[in-house]
């Protein structure tokens, strides 16, 4: 035990914990784990998209609620914190161990991995030939000091009066 009260696990120990937890999870929890596992298995070394150690879906798992996270949510959070430090050779090792526990789950993950990049995002499929930027305009560097360019898709039309006046409602 370290001086801060926490245990220092090796990467192998962390992997063993995840495999053990997977064996304890229900089918519903395993299904909820799919996006986190697929995200880990498809990320490039050092290329994870995390917010405070969490993938963006996990960041929204318990927003604004007064009750604490469930044990499952805590374990998924730990998985996301640990896996970003694991060596690349852990990816096939983890998938193999999970397949040994649940072959159907392994097939599901392999199907997800095969379809990464070909599935619609958030249920929205981009039509072939749809271009979201001006094809004639040169690409800008992110460090460019110019104003940001925004694109709003499926927005409701809004009419703004040219000389709008805010009126305070007094009681």
Per-domain residue ranges of the chain: 11-117
The residue with tokens 């925004």 is 150
Among the ranges 6-15, 26-35, 113-122, 150-159, which has the highest mean pLDDT value?
A: 26-35
Dihedral class, residue 81 (left if φ above 0, else alpha if ψ from -120 to 50, else beta): alpha
Confidence of residue 38 (pLDDT cuts 50, 70, 90): very high
95 versus 149: the higher-pLDDT residue is 95
What is the reported pLDDT for 16? Answer: 96
Share of the chain above pLDDT 70, in %: 51
Work out the number of other CB atoms within 10 angstroms of the CB of residue 7.
Answer: 7
Q: Which burial class, exposed, middle or buried, applies to 40 when counting CB atoms under 10 A from its CB (0-12, 13-18, 19+)?
A: buried
The pLDDT of residue 171 = 53
Q: In this predicted structure, what is the pLDDT of residue 8?
A: 82
Residue 93's contacts (CB-CB under 8 Å, 6 or more residues apart) are 15
* C-beta atoms surrounding 25 within 10 Å: 19
The pTM assigned to this predicted structure is 0.57
pLDDT band, residue 43 (cuts 50/70/90): confident
Residue pLDDT, tens place only, 70-125: 999 999 999 999 999 999 999 999 999 999 999 999 999 999 999 876 655 455 55
Cα dist from 45 to 69, 85, 103, 115, 125, whole Å = 29, 9, 27, 20, 28
The whole-number average pLDDT for the span 122-144 is: 51
Which residues are registered as beta bridge partners of 54?
A: 51
pLDDT of residue 35 exceeding 70, the answer is yes
d(CA 47, CA 169): 51
Is the confidence at residue 130, as pLDDT, over 50?
no
User: Is the pLDDT assigned to residue 57 strictly greater than 60?
Assistant: no
Tens digit of each residue's pLDDT (9 = 90 or more) over 11-22: 999 999 999 999
pLDDT for residue 131: 45
């Amino acid at each position: 035990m370290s001086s801060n009260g926490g245990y220092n696990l090796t990467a192998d120990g962390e992997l063993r914990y995840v495999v053990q937890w997977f064996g304890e999870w229900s089918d519903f929890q395993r299904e909820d784990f799919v996006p986190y596992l697929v995200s880990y298995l498809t990320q490039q070394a050092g290329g994870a998209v995390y917010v405070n150690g969490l993938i963006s879906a996990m960041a929204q798992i318990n927003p604004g609620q007064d009750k604490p996270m469930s044990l499952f949510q805590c374990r998924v959070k730990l998985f996301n914190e640990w896996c970003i430090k694991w060596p690349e050779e852990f990816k096939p090792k983890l998938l193999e161990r999970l397949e040994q526990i649940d072959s159907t789950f392994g097939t599901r993950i392999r199907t997800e991995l095969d379809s990464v990049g070909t599935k619609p995002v958030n249920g929205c499929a981009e039509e072939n030939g749809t271009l979201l930027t001006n094809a004639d305009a040169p690409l800008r560097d992110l460090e460019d000091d110019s104003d940001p360019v925004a694109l709003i898709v499926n927005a409701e039309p809004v009419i703004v009066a040219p000389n709008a006046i805010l009126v305070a409602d007094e009681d």
